[in-house]
Structure 1
C-alpha cells in the first residue's frame, strides 16, 4: 500500500483520489456486507461492521447525511416526553447513548445544553414534572451533566429574560445534549473508512444481484459519471430511512414493515432575538416545541405532519412556519416575525407504520427485518440511538456471513477527532499563536473537527489566505471549504454550504452571497472548469430560490411543486422506483 493510501486510511480521508480507488474496489472485491444509505444509521452500520473485522462497503445515492440525518433537531436526548408514554427502556437506552457520546465516543461533537421547562399550572405540575425529571436523572440523565434545578418565576425569568412574566409560574432547568447532525454523521462514515470500509457517495443502487433465492450484492451507478458496477457481498443492509419501501420494492421482496414519512420543520433566528441563557422546551397541543441554542442562533422546532410527496426535498410551507412562530410567540415578551428568520429546513422522520396495531406502536422505536436471505432492512428509531440500531442490523446479517462475526464494540470506539481533543482545548491559545488565528476561532474549530484540526489548519501553511473567513460567511474559514473537499467527501457546492458547513441556514442570504468564492475554492481541489463552476453556482442559487418560494405557499402540494422546480446537483440520479 502506498504512503498516500496509508495516510488516507489512517485519517479516514474521503478525497477525489480516494473516490476513484473506492470505485475500483467496489467492482473488484467481494464484501461481507454492503450497506445502502449514508445517513447516521447506515454510517453507523458500516462502522459497526468494519470494527468487527468485516469487509464493508457503504454506498449512498446523494451525499452523506443528505436526508433526515442533516435535518433533525440536532439533539442527543433521552426523550423526556417518552416517559409519559411509559417508554422507560427507550429513554434508558437513549440516555446511555447520550452519555457515551459526551464522554467517550464524540466529546468534540456532542455538547451538553441546558433547557428551561416553564411551569404553567399550580399545585400538580411541579411535582409531576419533577418526578419525571428525577426518573430521567436516575436513569442516567445526570451523570455528566447537572441534575434538575427548580426555579421560581423570578429565577426562571433571570435564566430566560425573553419570556413573558405571565407565561409561567416557575420553571425547572434540566440538561440534554446537542450536535451538528450532518457533521456527526459524516464523521461516523469517515471513522468507518478509517477502519477499512469503502465509503462511496453519489453511488445509487439500481438493482440487486441474486444467487438462487438469496441476495448476493447490488448494482450501483456512479451518478457523477453514469458508470455502473456490480458489487458482490454476502449480505446487504438497507438503511435508507424514508426510502426503505422503495429499496424493498427494488429487491422484489415484501417487507415486514412499512415506513411512514413525518415532516418536521425548523426555523433559525439570530441569538439576539431571544435573550436567554438556556434553551426551552414548551408543551403544545400536539407534542412539544424546542427552542435550542445553536452558536449565534436559535433553532425552533418542530412540526409533525404526514408527508407523501418528494422524499429527497421535503418542503416547508408558510403554514408550517406560522405554526412555529405562533407557538413560540405565546411565551415571548417580544414576538418573532417572518423577518427575523435566517434559515428554514424540513426533514422527514422515518416512522414505522406496521400492518397491525402491535407494530404501529413501534413508531418511535426501531425494527430490523429479514426481507430475503442476504437482505436485512432497518428503520425507525431516533438519531440518538443510531449506534444501537447499527449493531442490531449487523447482528441480523451475521448468519449470512461465512466467517465468525465478532460482537459489536462501537461503544469502545471514539470517532475521528475525539482522541486528544481535551488536551487540545487546553492548548487553544498556543495553537492560535502558531497559526495566527484568534483563540475563539481555534475553539470553534476544535468543536467541529477535534484533533483533526491540525489537518484543517495545515492547508494554511502553503496558502495563508485559506486561514481567512469565507466571504459573506465569517463564522467559517476558507480552509474548512478546502478540507471538506480533500477529506470529507464533498463533491458539490450544496454539500459544503448545507452539510459540511451550515451556511445555508445560518445566514439570511442562505449561502447565495458566498456561492461563487466557495465554488472557486472547491474547483481548486475537484478540478472544475469554468462551466462546472458556473453550473454549481446556478444549481445552488435555484435551489435556494425554490426553497424560498415553497416557504410562501399555503400547503404541501403547492410547496412541493415550487421546490421541485430546482435542478439536482447530481445530474445522473435516476428517478426512484414507484
Structure 2
C-alpha cells in the first residue's frame, strides 16, 4: 500500500491518449532500437507482442486502424477444436486447438472464455449416431488431455423427444435425435484488447492508428519501418532488429513493400454472421448444422443468437467487407430449414462480415483451404506469419517469436528465452473467481444491481474494480447509456482512458457490441457516447458532430450494402462511408 501523499503510479496496462503519445515518442526516438516490432493489431499481432515482451525482448506493436478492427472482431466468437477437421483426419490441428481451448478456459482467460452447449442433429438412422458419437468421444478424449482437463461436460446422446424438450423451436421431426456437446465462446475483440493490454502491462509499447508505409533497409536486411501517425500526420522511423508482420489478409500487400519477395499467398474468405434476439429461438443450446460447403452455427450470445457463417472468396475492399442480401438470405434459408418459426429480415438486429486469411492453394475453394498457419522469413530481419484461427493465436505467436529469436541469435548474438505465455494469465483473470463470489457485496457497495455486476464481470473480469472505482468517483457514470441500456456510461470513459478507443466506431463496434446488438445499429446511442468520449479526448463540438455523422453514414452504407444482390454492388455501397481520419 502506498503511503499518504505518495504519487499514484500510472497503470502500465492503460492504453489511453497519453500512453499512446509516450509509446510513439519512445519507439521513434532516433537512438532507440527495438528487439521486435510487430505490425498488425489483431489477435495474432497482440499475441506476438505478449510473447516477445514476456521473453525479455523490447517490443512494440503498431496497428493502422483499431485493435481487432479486421478479422479478429468479426469471427464466430468460438474457442473450439474444430469438429469438421476431425472428419478431414487433421488430428494434430484439432489436438492443438483443444489444448489451447483448455488453457484459455482454465488458466489464461477464464473471465472471458465460457462454455457453450451445442446440439449436433442426427438425420440418418443406423450409421450416423455411432459415427458422430465416435468422433465426439475422440474430441472429448483429446480435450481431457489438455491443461486442467477439458473443463467441460462430456457429450451426451439425445433422443428426438429430448431434442424437442431442449430446443422447442427446433424442428425435431426432421431428425432422429442429436448429440449434445460443449465448446467455448469469447468476445473476440475484447480478447484481443486484453492480450494487447497484458503486453503493455509487461512493457510493450502499443500504438494504434499508425500505418506502416515502407521498410528501412541496410543492404538486404530489414532494420525497421517507416510509418505515419494517422491522427496527426507525423512521419515516423522505427528501428528494430526484427519486424514481425502479422497483418492477416493484408499479408500480400506487406510483401510488396519488400519487393514482392515472400513465400506466402493469402486468400481472403468472407464469412458473414447475423445477430437476432434470443427470444426468437427457444432453445437451451446452440446448433451446428451441415451446409453444402461448410457448417452453420447457431450460437447463444447473451440476450442474442449469432448465426453464421458463409465461406466465399473476396477480392474487394479488405477494410470493409460487405454482406450482401444474397449472403443474408443464404444464412436465413439454412437456419430456417431447422426452425419451426422461420426468421426473416425483420428479425435481424445486426449483420457483420469478416475476412479469414487463408493460406491458399492454386485453385482450391476457400472452404477446403487449411486453417493451419505458416511462418516464413523472406528477407533477413523480417518474419511473416499467416493462416491459423482465433483459438490457436498463442501457438502462432510463439512460432513467430521463435523465428524472430533465431534471427536475433544469428545476427545479434542475443539469447532468447523460451515462450512462457502458457503460464501468463491475461489481465482480469487473477482474482476473477473471488470477485464473482463477491458479486452481491460489490452490488451493495456500488449501488448497482447484481445483474449489472454480473455483466461487468463477464466483460472485465477482476478489472471490474477499475469500473467500480470510476463509478464511485463519478456517480453520474453509473447511468445506463441511452439507446444501449445494457452498458454504463463508465464503460465508455474506461474505453478511452484504458482501452485505447480513439473514435466513436471503436466504442460502438469493438469495446462494446452495440452496433450489432441493437436494431438501430447503435444510432440512438451514438450522440451520448460521443459526448462522453469528447470530454476525455478534448473534442470540440464540431469534431464531436463529425464523429456522430461518420458513424451514422457508416450504418447507412452498411444497410444499403445489405440490400444489394452481388458482392460488387455491396462493396460499392459500403465504401461510400470510408474510415474517419
TM-score between the two structures when normalised by the length of structure 2: 0.96
Change (3 A) 1:59 1:367: same
Which residue matches 1:369? 376
CA distance in 1, matches of 2:363, 2:163: 45
> Secondary structure of the residue that 1:489 maps to in structure 2?
coil
> How far apart are the structure 1 equivalents of 2:363 and 2:84?
24
Shift of 1:4: 7.6
The 3 A distance-change label for structure 1 pair 368 and 6 is farther
Offset, 1:434: 0.6
- Measure how far apart 1:5 and its partner are: 8.9
Which position in structure 1 is the counterpart of 2:391? 384
Using the alignment, how far apart are the partners of 2:181 and 2:332 within structure 1? 24
- Residue 508 (str. 1) matches residue 547 (str. 2): no
- Corresponding residue for residue 534 of structure 2: 523
Are residue 70 (structure 1) and residue 73 (structure 2) matched? yes
In structure 2, what is the Cα distance between the partners aligned to 1:375 and 1:454? 40
Greater shift, 531-540 or 460-469, is seen at: 460-469
1:26 aligns with 2:33: no
Distance (whole Å) between structure 2 residues aligned to residue 458 and residue 556 of structure 1: 47
State the shift of 1:167 in Å: 2.1
Give the structure 2 partner of residue 574 of structure 1: none
Moved more, 159-168 or 62-71: 159-168
Q: What's 2:15 paired with?
A: 14
* Cα-to-partner distance string for 1:246-295 (whole Å, 9 max, x where unaligned): 01101224111200000000000000000000111011111110000000
User: Which secondary structure state, in structure 2, belongs to the residue aligned with residue 8 of structure 1?
Assistant: coil
- Describe the shift of the 1:503–1:219 C-alpha distance in structure 2 as closer, same or farther (beyond 3 A): same
Describe the shift of the 1:541–1:556 C-alpha distance in structure 2 as closer, same or farther (beyond 3 A). Answer: same
Counterpart Cα distance in 2 of 1:5 and 1:247: 42
1:266-415 superposed matches below 5 A? 266-354=273-361, 363-401=370-408, 402=412, 403-415=414-426
Report the more deviating stretch, 175-184 or 165-174.
Answer: 165-174
Counterpart CA distance in 1 for 2:223 and 2:172 is: 63
What are the Cα deviations for residues 456-492 of structure 1, in whole angstroms up to 9, with x where unaligned?
1211123211011111101111100010000000000
Superposed CA deviations along residues 154-208 of structure 1, whole A, max 9, x for unmatched, are 1011111111132211010000000000000010000000010000000110110
- Return the offset for 1:220: 1.3
Give the Å deviation of 1:102: 0.5
Q: What is the TM-score when the length of structure 1 is the normalising length? A: 0.96
Shift of 1:425: 0.3
Counterpart mapping for 1:109-508 below 5 A: 109-140=112-143, 143-354=150-361, 363-401=370-408, 402=412, 403-508=414-519
Among 104, 108, 111, the residue aligned to 2:111 = 108
User: Which residue in 2 is equivalent to 1:86?
Assistant: 89
Q: Distance in 2 between matches of 1:25 and 1:456?
A: 29
How far off its partner does 1:547 sit?
Answer: 0.2
Note the residue ranges of structure 2 that are not aligned, 5 or more in a row. 1-5
| Unaligned stretches of 5+ residues in structure 1 | 572-578
Q: Secondary structure at the match of 2:143?
A: helix
8 Å Cα contact 2:160/2:173 also seen in 1 = no
CA contact (8 A) 2:311 2:367 kept: no
Task: Report the equivalent of 2:557.
Answer: 546
Q: Deviations over 1:119-143 (max 9, x none)?
A: 1111011000000001000101672
Q: How many residues align?
A: 565
User: Structure 1 residues 294 and 102 mapped into 2: Cα distance closer, same or farther (>3 Å)?
Assistant: same
Q: CA 1:4 to 1:154, structure 2 compared with 1: closer, same or farther past 3 Å? A: farther
How far off its partner does 1:400 sit?
A: 2.4
